[in-house]
Amino acid sequence: MNRFFFSLIASTAVSFGQSWEDYYQIESVPSPAGVDNQIGGMTALRDGRIATCFNSGEIQIFSPGTKTWSIFAQGLSLPLGVVEEEDGSLVTMQWAELTRLRDTDKDGIADHYETVCNDFGLTGNYHEFAYGPTRDSKGNFYVSLNAASNGAGIEDRIRGPWIDIGLDRESHLASRGGANWNKNKDAAGRMYSRVPYRGCVLKITPQGESSVFAYGFRSPDGIHMDSKDRLWITDNQGDWRGTSPLYHVTEGGFYGHPASLVWKKNWTRDPLKVPVEELEEMRTPAAGLFPQGELANSPTQPIDTIDPKIFGLPGGELLIGDMNQRHLIRFLPEEVDGTLQGTLIPFLASPDLGMGNHRFTFDKNGSLWIGKTHIKWAGDEGIKKITWKKKQPLLATGVSLLNDGFKISFNRPLKEAPKLKVSRHTYKYQKSYGSPKVDRKTVEVESAELSDGGKVLTITLPEIVERRLYTLELTGAADPEGRALMDKVLRYNVVKKRGNQDRKLTLPRLKS
């Protein structure tokens, strides 16, 4: 699928003489010597330096002025996120705990390692990653925990209570012998949770008191609290995930993967034996959907956009990475009758950007720093720095759902209404791995009219159907000078239609 994006870039450059590199500078930043150059966490410090977690267990700090690195902490176990506290301490999520790192003697190196929270279980399963933290305005931390994978079993020693639901502990231990596991592993589930609180999001106070914030995740690598204290999480396609989703996560919610339901109070059932229809009634739908292999394969961290005068993108959006694709992704959120949903649009599609775009931070000058990883899957390693050249590309700046279509806003006028192709589809909610696109339909465009001097395009359709991902292709969209719309494919996920705030949402039965 990557060839599609290269051909799109090439055709845009030939037709209109432009590419993303005309608007953004993409630089490689040298990494320090002696590290595994995969990035698990990255944050711009208040003093302008960049703190970076490396997979080999170090946190090192880069000084842009001198272009030098210094060690802040080492001996960590796969740190997959980092934030700075008001006193200059750094808090990172290791494999086994949330850790606060302090430099008490002010020599630039952490000398005090404090366990903030380890109130979750470990079995030794290779897939039990732990992501975060992100923080809300009150200083609470949020971390997300992978479920375990039946691609392997567990170790003899575990941390936390074991729960015998689905497949007993002895059978999981026998998995290391091979034959028994291959025979019995389906009873565990493709991804399973047998120690606390795998597949959950935890809320942790600054003092380390933890509680389960939300359930229903598979591999939630991307976790971000935005400037409005809204929690966003990306998850990866797999079992119970027809395609990769972006969730707006609220306290107590269930987000579709049933493994972690075993940690709900008074829950006693095997999640794999709960009817799909009952799970469907419980789950909160995704705010955005990434078509697998087209827009994303394994989405990563979301981050807020910043002042448009500094980076060139509208404020109020999210930027999201992906492990497999050579582009970033913009998310334009919209609230419809109390539900957050919105539009995903490719951004900065470039072979110079590369794959493995994992962790992000904006520095004080407005440049975007990107840390890459692969962890032996698809991806890359190293650091990129993206700087806006103060030239404005033609962009869609807003997509609003109407009762009978969409209204798309642009940052510059269009010369004329583009050629439009509109389609919609969805995915099956099932325990099988992934889903094909189902209920695929080409949607008739009844009208497309420009207004506001060419800066607003209103598209009228025969109807809007809930729980469908609408793909809007705007071929030939360009400004009066012939500069093309940089990304012509917009994907709006309709969770709820306008005016339906009192009606319960249900997912129709689908045939593939």
Q: What is the pLDDT along the chain (512 residues), one digit of tens a residue?
A: 333 333 333 333 333 458 999 999 999 999 999 999 999 999 999 999 999 999 999 999 999 999 999 999 999 999 999 999 999 999 999 999 999 999 999 999 999 999 999 999 999 999 999 999 999 999 999 999 999 999 988 999 999 999 988 888 998 988 777 778 888 899 999 999 999 999 999 999 999 999 999 999 999 999 999 999 999 999 999 999 999 999 999 999 999 999 999 999 999 999 999 999 999 999 999 999 999 999 999 999 999 999 999 999 999 999 999 999 999 999 999 999 999 999 999 999 999 999 999 999 999 999 999 999 998 888 999 999 999 999 999 999 999 999 999 999 999 999 999 999 999 999 999 999 999 999 999 999 999 999 999 999 999 999 999 999 999 999 999 999 999 999 999 999 999 999 864 444 444 444 43
CATH 2.60.40.1220 in the chain is located at 396-494
Residue 233: closest CA among 241, 242, 224: 224
Residue-wise over 348-365: b if at least 16 C-beta within 10 A, else e? bbbebbbbbbbbbbbbee
Asked if 459 and 422 count as a contact pair (C-beta separation under 8 A), the reply is yes
Which residues are paired to 449 by β-bridges? Answer: 458
Task: Quote the pLDDT of residue 479.
Answer: 97
Tokens read off for 308 = 């448009």
Structure pTM? 0.94
Distance CA 174, CA 153 (A): 8
Centroid of chain to Cα 231: 11
Distance CA 27, CA 384 (A): 6
Q: Which amino acid type is present at position 487?
A: D
Distance CA 483, CA 195 (A): 55
In three-state secondary structure terms, 55 is coil
**Mind spelling out the 3-state secondary structure of 89-152?**
CEEEECCCCEEEEECCCCCCCCCEEEEEECCCCECCCCCCCEEEEEECCCCCEEEEECCEECCC
Tokens read off for 280 = 């469907």
CATH of 396-494, one of 3.40.50.1000, 2.60.40.1220, 3.40.50.720, 3.40.50.450: 2.60.40.1220
With a CB cutoff of 8 Å and minimum separation 6, the contacts of 112 are 101, 102, 103, 104
CATH number of 34-309: 2.120.10
Tokens read off for 417 = 């209404």
With a CB cutoff of 8 Å and minimum separation 6, the contacts of 87 are 102
In three-state secondary structure terms, 14 is helix
Q: How many CB atoms neighbour CB 296 within 10 A?
A: 28
CATH 2.120.10 in the chain is located at 34-309
Distance CA 363, CA 108 (A): 20
